[in-house]
């Protein structure tokens, strides 16, 4: 197989000749973001101390019984979308008294489509290689040289790890350039997911899209295809203060989900409580696996989010229908492959495999990325 990173060599040549490069010790090293990034972003975009004080649906029960509805009865969900990002530290760039980490990111998003007979096919895939450098730590001349060299390369893109459009880093207060680079790649992945959902997939109102992860503010005024976000990891500090007077109910998330039985959902709640955008995204919790045999109440539970453009209480029957169909997607149990197996949905797992298959392995990266003039293989 030809070296897939050969087109990047002129870019690395510029970095090595116009600055001084210190290669990563031990070759390319993977940079990890927080393992609970989705939970942290959910907390940051929904309000750090959010208290839920209202129910945002027609029926106002705290728990609702559900009955799984398989595809053979109602083919509600057709598209399933997931993204992935991996970032590798490949060296440190020195320019006079300034320095910047040099990182290589693989980002991608994939959607799968389920046919009438249940077969799942690939619907759309986007894959990109990011070169991540801290623009604010380099001269304009060096940045422009790199930018011009990488611009004509297909599927390669230069991004600054200091880019303030990265909502992950902004929301989480990440400052250190190398950490910002990892989060910047994750935000690029999220941008790809939004673009696929908005532009590349069917807009038939009868065919719903299931997106892996929480929706965040980028879906606040969503006008594309009908969709829901399904989060396996979510904020855990939400407090619920429902009702008033002697019958008022106060509980934290753990106590509420401890009372949620398998094949049940909670009431629907609004995000951004008490703000002008309240109810533009609504959420609820669904238990797709019984608590027996699981470690704590949040296991076996997914958080479902849905855009609500009208910001009015949602139709309880619609929420029941969507939840019933979601429970029927719980078949996959990827033990040993994902610690969140208890909250996985089978088609989402397939979409994840589609994009992961596009990624180059760490071994390929180590063999393919070479710093010019250094005589060192990374």
At 301 the pLDDT is 92
Instruction: Establish if 139 belongs to a structural domain.
Output: yes
CA distances from 208 to 204, 306, 333 (A): 8, 11, 23
Give the length of the chain. 378
Q: Give the structural domain span for 192.
A: 6-377
Residue 65 to residue 320: CA distance in whole angstroms: 8
Instruction: Establish if 41 belongs to a structural domain.
Output: yes
Instruction: Establish if 174 belongs to a structural domain.
Output: yes
Whole-model pTM: value is 0.86
Q: What is the pLDDT of residues 145-188, one digit of tens each?
A: 999 999 999 999 999 987 766 666 565 666 677 878 888 888 89
CA angle, 289 as apex, 351 and 306 as ends, to 5°? 55
Q: What is the pLDDT of residues 37-91, one digit of tens each?
A: 677 667 666 654 468 888 999 888 899 999 999 988 999 999 999 999 999 998 8
At 324 the pLDDT is 96
The owner of tokens 């949602």 is 314
Instruction: Establish if 1 belongs to a structural domain.
Output: no
Residue 27 to residue 330: CA distance in whole angstroms: 40
Residues of the chain below pLDDT 70: 1, 25-37, 40-41, 43-50, 164-175, 200, 202-204, 245, 273-274, 293-296, 332-341, 373-378
Instruction: Establish if 326 belongs to a structural domain.
Output: yes
Question: Contact, 204 vs 100, CB < 8 A?
Answer: no
Residue 256 to residue 266: CA distance in whole angstroms: 9
Instruction: Establish if 219 belongs to a structural domain.
Output: yes
At 170 the pLDDT is 60
Instruction: Establish if 13 belongs to a structural domain.
Output: yes
Give one word for 263, left, alpha or beta, with left for phi > 0 and alpha for psi -120 to 50. left
Residue 52 to residue 60: CA distance in whole angstroms: 14
At 378 the pLDDT is 37
**What phi and psi values does residue 270 have, to the nearest 5 degrees?**
-90, 150
At 113 the pLDDT is 94
Instruction: Establish if 43 belongs to a structural domain.
Output: yes
Cα atoms in the Cβ-side hemisphere of radius 13 Å centred on 373:
13
List the beta bridge partners of residue 302.
Answer: 286
Domain count, the chain: 1
The owner of tokens 């940079």 is 31
- Exposed, middle or buried by CB within 10 Å (0-12, 13-18, 19+), for 1? exposed
At 306 the pLDDT is 95
């Amino acid at each position: 197989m030809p070296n897939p990173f050969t087109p990047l060599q002129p870019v690395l040549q510029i970095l090595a000749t116009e600055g001084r490069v210190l290669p990563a010790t031990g070759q390319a090293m993977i940079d990890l973001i927080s393992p609970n990034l989705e939970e942290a972003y959910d907390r940051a975009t929904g309000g750090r101390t959010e208290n839920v004080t209202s129910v945002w649906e027609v029926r106002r029960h705290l728990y609702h019984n559900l009955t799984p509805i398989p595809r053979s009865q109602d083919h509600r969900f057709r598209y399933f979308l997931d993204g992935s990002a991996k970032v590798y530290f490949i060296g440190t760039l020195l320019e006079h008294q300034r320095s910047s980490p040099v990182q290589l990111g693989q980002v991608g998003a994939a959607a799968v489509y389920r046919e009438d007979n249940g077969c799942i096919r690939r619907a759309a895939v986007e894959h990109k290689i990011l070169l991540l450098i801290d623009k604010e730590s380099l001269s304009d001349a060096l940045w422009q040289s790199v930018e011009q060299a990488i611009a004509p390369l297909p599927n390669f893109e230069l991004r600054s790890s200091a880019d303030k459009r990265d909502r992950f880093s902004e929301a989480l207060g990440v400052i250190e350039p190398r950490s910002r680079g990892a989060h910047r790649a994750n935000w690029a992945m999220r941008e790809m997911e939004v673009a696929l959902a908005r532009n590349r997939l069917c807009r038939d109102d009868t065919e719903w899209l299931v997106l892996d992860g929480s929706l965040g503010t980028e879906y606040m005024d969503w006008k594309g295809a009908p969709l829901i976000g399904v989060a396996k990891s979510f904020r855990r500090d939400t407090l619920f203060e429902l009702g008033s007077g002697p019958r008022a109910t106060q509980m934290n998330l753990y106590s509420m989900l401890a009372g949620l039985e398998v094949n049940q959902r909670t009431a629907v709640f609004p995000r951004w409580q008490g703000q002008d955008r309240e109810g533009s995204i609504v959420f609820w919790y669904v238990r797709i696996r019984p608590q027996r045999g699981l470690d704590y109440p949040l296991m076996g539970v997914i958080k479902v989010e849905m855009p609500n453009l009208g910001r009015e209480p949602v139709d309880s029957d619609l929420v029941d229908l969507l939840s019933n169909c979601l429970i029927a997607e719980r078949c996959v149990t990827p033990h040993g492959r994902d610690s969140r197996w208890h909250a996985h949905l089978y088609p989402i797992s397939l979409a994840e495999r589609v994009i992961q298959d596009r990624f180059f392995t760490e071994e390929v990266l180590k063999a393919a990325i070479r710093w010019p003039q250094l005589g060192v293989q990374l």
